[in-house]
Amino acid sequence: MKTPKSIKKALSRKSNWWSQSTATVVAVGVTLFSVNPTVTSGAWGQTEDQTQTTLQEPGGLSRFLLPFGGTSDLVRGDVRIDGRRVFSVAAPAAAQLADSTNVLPLEQRIADIERTLQSVVEQNSDDIDVTAAIDAQSRLPVLSVSVNGQPSQYLMTVTTLDAQIYGLDPNTLADRFTQRLQEGLSAAHQERQPEFLVRQALLAGTILAIALIASSLMLKWQRHLKSEQEEICQNLPQNSDLTGEPPVDGMSDSLTSISTVEHQMTQLQKRNIKEIQRRLLQVGQLANWGSSTYLILGLFPHTRWLRPLAIAGLQIPLTILAIGVGTYLVVRVSAVLIDRFFVALERGNFGDPEASQRMALRFSTFSQVFKGITAVTLGGVGILSILSVVGVNIGPLLAGAGILGLGISFAAQSLIKDTINGFFILLEDQYAVGDVIAVGTVSGLVENMNLRITQLRNAEGRLITVPNSEIAIVENLSKDWSRVDVAIDVSYGSDVDRALSIIDEVAQKMSKEPVWREKIIDPPQVLGIDQISHMGVLIRVWIKTKPLEQWSVAREYRRRLKIALDQQGIAIGVPQQSLWLPNSSEKLAQTLLDAKDKAQDLQASDGSSPRNGAS
């Protein structure tokens, strides 16, 4: 444990580190804007002296192809110079192209316009003239462009569909397009001059320096958070600590157990918060380098065209990534909120120490279960959102989920039974994490439980996993209170009354000591002589203890009782058995008599044989 002084020093070092880091980033940012003051100025076509050329663009974000007006009648796309948007054009939707064969597909139309503009820009001339003329046949404005006084080359025709998306007539829109194109081509020429490229290179270097500094700071902070998280995991109390050793200061074991559970949940909160911070920093790293790359690409006319392609190509992957990261963060935040909620409930139920100890164990169990349910629910919502983003119609999917669920329910009956039984185990408080239970032929400390399984740690350290559906009869050895059942065999030759007195005296004396008084609930009961057998005289003692304290009390009581009985000369009963063996001489005499009788019988039979033959 850190002392308050060391904690203050650590916080002071952390505060100084953050202050220095923040000051460094701010200083580099100021340098960024001082190197190129034009960064904050409006782009061409949007400055105050050019407001007459600004078009009222269609609503919504500009993408490569967008339905106009929320209908499927028109689609629109953006015409760009060096990746910078100039204006939008429109065309019939794909369903109407068959009836409008004189109109090129929108993609092809935009590609032809941009190809012509790019050829003009590559000539690197400042003598560029964009003109508009009315076509004699279609009566629509036609835009042309000439370079260095050369013959004009066709650029585009302003259609009624183009005018429709802007709400202007074609002639007026042609004039606006002409001015925007003139400004865009002039800006493209200026951006290709060496002075501009050098200035942009310095700006790119500054942005890269800021990205490196921010990345190093975030990486350093990630390592710091990881080390703190590992330290929290090392100091995290285990469930077995709830049964700890007798307190030497006489503190109540109930309050000690409650404090342990509360400390465990508080540490879990801290660990989750550190994990959230680490993941946010990882997202920050991705955003840092992504935004830096995006900004640097936009500084140079030769690379600016990559930005709309990157946005169009990475839109779905970035959306999926955002949903995944958002779902993960929401799961983590919900885990922190659930832990804080149950910790607050624990602190409000400390009136009765015994009830509070039990409540602390239940809250720990419920916290784990609720966090699991929340994670599964939010994960399902995230998966459905990702499927919706990639174009899967989740309506029929949800409708078919009912039928699929019915089929799965038959194949996963044991899983459903586990879940239902686990729910009732929690609802009825049959046992909780930290209890010692016996289920069938296995027993141990409940280390983990959810709606599907219960995990026990037995005396040999083995982790036993029991499906909740297999738990029909459970013995809870630590709920509410426990009992020490001690049976003592005293030899037949001992004074039984004296033995009873010593046994009771040792038990009562132990129950009055401060260390054990907190563990023993009621005065010990010497039930008396419970059985008389070949082992001796059986005397039974009951000692009522707090949950999970029966083993430590029983061990100490047996130790003291052995010492007391030895001092009083009272022997422990041993098995007795009597064996009777007949005398050897008597056996020999009997054998001789039997032999004599047999010989006389043989003689009598021999004497009578001749007479029988004579006759």
The winner for highest mean pLDDT among 18-32, 91-105, 527-541 is 527-541
User: What is the rounded average pLDDT of the residues 254-279?
Assistant: 69
Distance CA 532, CA 516 (A): 32
pLDDT at position 263 = 67
Is a pLDDT exceeding 90 seen at residue 217?
yes
The winner for highest mean pLDDT among 24-33, 138-147, 406-415, 601-610 is 138-147
Q: What is the pLDDT of residues 416-462, one digit of tens each?
A: 788 888 888 877 888 888 788 999 889 898 888 888 889 999 888 88
Is a pLDDT exceeding 50 seen at residue 317?
yes
User: What is the rounded average pLDDT of the residues 97-102?
Assistant: 48
Q: Which of the residue ranges 106-110, 281-285, 364-368 would you say has the lowest mean pLDDT?
A: 364-368
Confidence of residue 50 (pLDDT cuts 50, 70, 90): very low
CA angle centred on 417, ends 415 and 423, rounded to 5°: 105
Q: Which of the residue ranges 241-250, 400-409, 581-590 would you say has the lowest mean pLDDT?
A: 241-250
Is the model more confident about 240 or about 504? Answer: 504
Is a pLDDT exceeding 50 seen at residue 62?
no
pLDDT at position 66 = 42
In this structure, are residues 21 and 217 in contact, taking their beta carbons and an 8 Å threshold? Answer: yes
CA angle centred on 214, ends 208 and 217, rounded to 5°: 140
In this structure, are residues 432 and 362 in contact, taking their beta carbons and an 8 Å threshold? Answer: yes
Q: What is the pLDDT of residues 132-143, one digit of tens each?
A: 999 888 899 999
Is the model more confident about 535 or about 115? Answer: 115
Q: In what order do the strands lie in the sheet with 66-67?
A: 66-67, 74-81, 84-92
The winner for highest mean pLDDT among 124-128, 140-144, 273-277, 606-610 is 140-144
What percent of the chain lies above the pLDDT cut of 70? 71
In this structure, are residues 597 and 590 in contact, taking their beta carbons and an 8 Å threshold? Answer: no
Distance CA 397, CA 385 (A): 12
pLDDT at position 432 = 81
Q: Which of the residue ranges 156-160, 509-513, 589-593 would you say has the lowest mean pLDDT?
A: 589-593
Furthest C-alpha separation in the chain: 175
Confidence of residue 586 (pLDDT cuts 50, 70, 90): low
Q: Which of the residue ranges 160-164, 206-210, 432-436, 581-585 would you say has the lowest mean pLDDT?
A: 581-585
Radius of gyration of the chain (CA): 46
Instruction: Count Cβ atoms within 10 A of the Cβ of residue 607 and give its class: 0-12 exposed, 13-18 middle, 19 or more buried.
Output: exposed
Confidence of residue 158 (pLDDT cuts 50, 70, 90): very high
pLDDT at position 482 = 85
Confidence of residue 34 (pLDDT cuts 50, 70, 90): very low
Is a pLDDT exceeding 60 seen at residue 101?
no
Is a pLDDT exceeding 60 seen at residue 152?
yes
Residue tagged 């370079």 (tokens): 147
Q: How many CB atoms lie within 10 A of CB 114?
A: 18
In this structure, are residues 171 and 98 in contact, taking their beta carbons and an 8 Å threshold? Answer: no
pLDDT at position 76 = 84
- 3-state class (DSSP) for residue 288: helix
Q: What is the mean pLDDT of the chain?
A: 76
In this structure, are residues 124 and 194 in contact, taking their beta carbons and an 8 Å threshold? Answer: no
What percent of the chain lies above the pLDDT cut of 90? 13
State the number of CA atoms in the 13 A half-sphere of 266 facing the CB.
11
Is the model more confident about 226 or about 402? Answer: 226
User: What is the rounded average pLDDT of the residues 516-537?
Assistant: 86
pLDDT at position 3 = 43
pLDDT at position 214 = 92
Is a pLDDT exceeding 90 seen at residue 370?
no
pLDDT at position 254 = 44
- 3-state class (DSSP) for residue 502: helix
Rounded to 10 deg, the angle between the 353-389 and 253-297 helix axes is: 20
Is a pLDDT exceeding 70 seen at residue 89?
yes
pLDDT at position 313 = 82
Is a pLDDT exceeding 80 seen at residue 384?
yes
Burial annotation 473-494 (CB, 10 A radius, 16+ → b, else e):
ebebbbbeebebebebbbeeeb
Q: Which among 185, 199, 163 is positioned nearest to 76, based on CA atoms?
A: 163
Q: What is the pLDDT of residues 453-487, one digit of tens each?
A: 899 998 888 899 999 888 888 888 877 788 888 88
pLDDT at position 35 = 42
Confidence of residue 265 (pLDDT cuts 50, 70, 90): low
pLDDT at position 142 = 93
In this structure, are residues 162 and 90 in contact, taking their beta carbons and an 8 Å threshold? Answer: yes
